[in-house]
Amino acid sequence: MPRPVVWIPRRLSEATLARARRDYDVILKDDDSPGTADEIVAMSARADAMIPCHSERFGADVVARLDPRLKIVANHSVGTDHCDLPALRSRGIAVTNTPGVLSDATAELAMMLMLGAARHAVTGDRIVRSGGWDFWSPAFLVGKQVTGARLGIVGMGGVGRSLARKARGFDMEIHYHNRRRLPPDEEAGAIFHADLDSLLTVSDFLSLHCPATPATEGLMNADRLARLPRGAILVNAARGSLVDETALLAAIKSGHLAAAGLDCFVTEPGGNPTFAGHENIMMMPHVGSATVRTRDAMGFKALDNLDAFFAGRRPPDLL
């Protein structure tokens, strides 16, 4: 019996590729660039399965053109806003993701962004790196202290809870907004806000960890940013669409927000060039899960889903 054919459009971890080649006939894209709509459609006639990343878009127009050979899309990501799930399901194509394995890595990056934004990391690095550090003063690069501050978390899934655990090490007071209140043992003393606006008013730091949906697009708009205490810091290591970038820039310019730490943007790749002139906006290129351990775990989870599917079992992360 021939082995299933799997198309992998991006350069996954070496451990993932080795395991995939062991168990499947793998077609690997020659260059590590996003698979285009035409490439996805063309490969659907050659592959039984795909392991795409968030960079491959499965909109309704693409799904309508897919060859019947394609049976499963095993995403190498937690987020699935790049997939039109109803359209894929209507074609009988199974869709999976990789939850539960990237929470710590993403929370670590959110913590880095929070600390870096609070303590002028971008400016400090530039001054030292350029050879411009030629004086000291008690008023030099005075930042905002994290220890003991109130941290508001929007979305208490795996990443939000991981960030809360790490922030407790800084003696932060944890507040959160979620679709539903967590059980007491998972709250671990965090204060629940059923209303987002209530959370915003007490958040010295606000970190976003909710999914991108039509309901959350532009969640942090001018009105909501204004509800944060003056001098607050916003962190976004979730999805760029959660933030109205024009409103964010205005809040930075006015001084209402002291700083921001961003790992994601409305336009990716590329980001927002207007942010570059503001060193109190610390930026990373959407690499929250980019650790060796997590990349291996994501790849193996995608393969676990394929293994189950082709063995006739329900994939553990079927959406």
Q: Round the CA-based radius of gyration of the chain to a whole number and report it.
A: 21
Catalytic position from the list 161, 177, 239, 295: 239
268 given a catalytic annotation: yes
239 given a catalytic annotation: yes
Cβ neighbours for 313, distance < 8 A, ≥ 6 positions apart: none
Amino acid at 156: M
Angstrom distances, CA of residue 264 to CA of 162, 212, 271: 19, 12, 7
Confidence check: pLDDT of 1 > 80: no
> What distance, in Å, lies between the first and last C-alpha atoms of the chain?
28
10 given a catalytic annotation: no
C-alpha 141 chain-centroid distance: 29
Q: What structural domains and CATH numbers belong to the chain?
A: 5-97+292-310 (3.40.50.720), 103-271 (3.40.50.720)
Catalytic position from the list 69, 126, 268, 293: 268
Task: Note the pLDDT of residue 79.
Answer: 86
Catalytic position from the list 286, 293, 295, 314: 286
Confidence check: pLDDT of 277 > 90: yes
pLDDT band at 140 (very low <50, low <70, confident <90, very high): very high
Q: What average pLDDT does the structure give for the chain?
A: 97
